[in-house]
Structure formats: structure tokens, C-alpha cells
Amino acid sequence: MGGSAKRKIGIVTDGVANLSEDFAKEHHIEIARYSVWFPDEEEEIEDTKALYQRMRQTKKMPRTAAPSPLMFKKIYKKTLEKFDKVLVILLFKELSAAFNSATQAKNRMSSEERERIEIFDSHLAAAAEGLVVWKAQELIDQGKGLVEILEILKEFRNNVKLLGFMEDLVWLVHGGRLHEPWATPALLLQKAGIRPAIGILNGQVKTTGLKLFAKDRVPVILKELRKASRKAKIGIAITHADIPEEVLRLKQGIEGLDVELLFVSQLTPVVGAHTGPGTILVGYYFM
């Protein structure tokens, strides 16, 4: 669109969505990023690859903080300069303070500005949340209005699946999310090649079961995707924490399946700080 005319709808999301930088830049999507730092340092971490290398070397657990209301307000102001309306798509509000920050920021805007901002809870996280953002942009590109987009997304979010595995459960132990008496048996099972699968259950990202013979995670993920693609074509997003070789094998493995790869991205620091280096998450839905 030429001149200074505003486009209809712009998107704001959070760093948990793990959008590829190219996709976000192409569509002028603004991202509210989390703060990530090591407890013994003041400087925040922005270099994702360096974060995972540091975690592997030191075995230290970073800390994270949700975007502040002030950050969201600044992003709203910037986006409203370019778009008539703003659609804010966030991770499940029970998982983070981001939704509350985004709501506070909206309430601090003028009444005219508030009417132009819509906040949407994806009920998801990570690659699955990213697919909701991807779908929203697709609907915007099709020329659909905000009311119709919201109705479609409410149904769409219920059909998005998430599958993934951590490289090492020790990060859940360090982060206090895996306690005794369960921690020791879980770590022993991991050594035996039995891993908990990460998925979405009742709107929350959590372990959804155990997978046998899962030391090599790629064949396990491919088996699930192959099964799903027999029902109908699926769109997928792959996010990972510094394991390009496994991602390459996964991309090669889906060739020939009824699958459309929508985007691949590095897990952002806020996600990787909790799941650890080596995590791989795949979001998918039936197209």
C-alpha cells in the first residue's frame, strides 16, 4: 500500500510464540520479549545460541521475567501508528504474567486507542502459539475483518497440537518443576531411552505420556507426524534449542508426507531457559 495510509490489522505477540525473525519482519509483527538473565549477572541475555552453550557448560539455570505493561504500551503505540487495529496474540494466560501486563497496558491507553486493541489468549505456547499467529496473519492477508478472525481463531486454537522432547530432564529438576520422589526415577528412565513427551493437555503445556525407545527423538516425532498426515494434510512449525542436525533430519524425514512446513525457528531464551538446550518442539494442525 503506497503513501502513508494505514493497513487494517497489525499483530503483536510475545517471545514465547517463537516466530521466525523473517516472518515477523515481513509482516511487521511486533514481539514483546521476555527478560532472561543468569542470577549472578546483571546483563540480560539476547543471543540465543550463546545462552544454550552457556547452560551446557555451566549447568546454571537462567531466570525469566514477563514483558512489563510499559513495554506493551510502547509496542501498542508503535503498532497503532501503522495499523487501524491491533490484534494481540499471547500464550495461555495461566502460564505467565504477560497477559496481565498486556491488559494493564491497554487499560492505560486512551479510550480511542483501547477500542482499536484486541487481546486474544491463544491457550497455547511455543510452536503451537506461533501457529495461531501464523494463521491470524494468513486471515489478515485474505482480507478478513477482526471479528471474523477472532471467531476463526477460537476454533483453530483447539485443533493445534504440540509434540516435543527435552534433551535432558535435569533442567526441570534445576527449575523446581520436577521434584522428588519423581525426579530420580524420571532421570533413570531417561537414561534407558524412555522420555516424557511434551504436549498440550487441557489448555496447558505439560508432559502427556512416556515414549519408549526415544533416545533418538527424530524417528518418534516422524512417526507421530506420519500418523497424523494420513488423516489429512498438516501444517507444521519446528522450534528447537541449538540442535540444527536433528532439525535437518526431521525436515528430510517429512519429505514425501502430506505436510507443509510453515516455519522453523530457534527456541527463544524464555522457552529454552525452562526446557534447556537440546529441546525440540513441533506444532501442527490439520489444514
Q: Are residues 114 and 190 in the same domain?
A: no
pLDDT at 217: 87
Residue where a domain stops, chosen among 133, 159, 185: 159
User: Residue 94: what residue type?
Assistant: E
Q: Are residues 187 and 96 in the same domain?
A: no
Question: Residue 165's pLDDT band (boundaries 50, 70, 90)?
Answer: confident
Q: Are residues 13 and 61 in the same domain?
A: yes
CA distances from 287 to 109, 203, 259, 264 (A): 37, 21, 9, 18
Residue 1 lies in a domain: no
pLDDT at 260: 96
Report, as an integer, the average pLDDT of 53-74: 92
Q: Is residue 12 a contact partner of residue 86, using CB atoms and an 8 Å limit?
A: yes
Q: Are residues 14 and 95 in the same domain?
A: yes
Tens digits of per-residue pLDDT, 90-147? Answer: 998 888 899 999 999 999 999 999 999 999 999 998 899 999 999 999 999 999 999 9
Residue 235 lies in a domain: yes
pLDDT at 28: 96
228 vs 114: CA distance, rounded Å = 41
Residue where a domain stops, chosen among 107, 128, 159: 159
Residue where a domain stops, chosen among 113, 144, 159: 159
Q: Are residues 254 and 183 in the same domain?
A: yes
Question: Residue 2's pLDDT band (boundaries 50, 70, 90)?
Answer: very low
By percentage, how much of the chain surpasses pLDDT 90?
Answer: 61
208 vs 164: CA distance, rounded Å = 10
Q: Are residues 61 and 152 in the same domain?
A: yes
> In the predicted model, is pLDDT for residue 176 greater than 70?
no
Report, as an integer, the average pLDDT of 256-260: 95
DSSP letter assigned to residue 166: -
Q: Are residues 118 and 31 in the same domain?
A: yes
Q: Are residues 150 and 170 in the same domain?
A: no
- Average pLDDT of every residue of the chain: 88
Q: Are residues 168 and 257 in the same domain?
A: yes
Interhelix angle 217-229/244-253, rounded to 10 degrees, is 30
User: Residue 262: what residue type?
Assistant: L
Domain count along the chain:
2
Question: Residue 179's pLDDT band (boundaries 50, 70, 90)?
Answer: low
> In the predicted model, is pLDDT for residue 3 greater than 50?
no
220 vs 224: CA distance, rounded Å = 7
Give me the domain span that covers residue 87: 7-159
> In the predicted model, is pLDDT for residue 1 greater than 50?
no
pLDDT at 154: 96
Tens digits of per-residue pLDDT, 238-254? Answer: 999 999 999 999 999 99
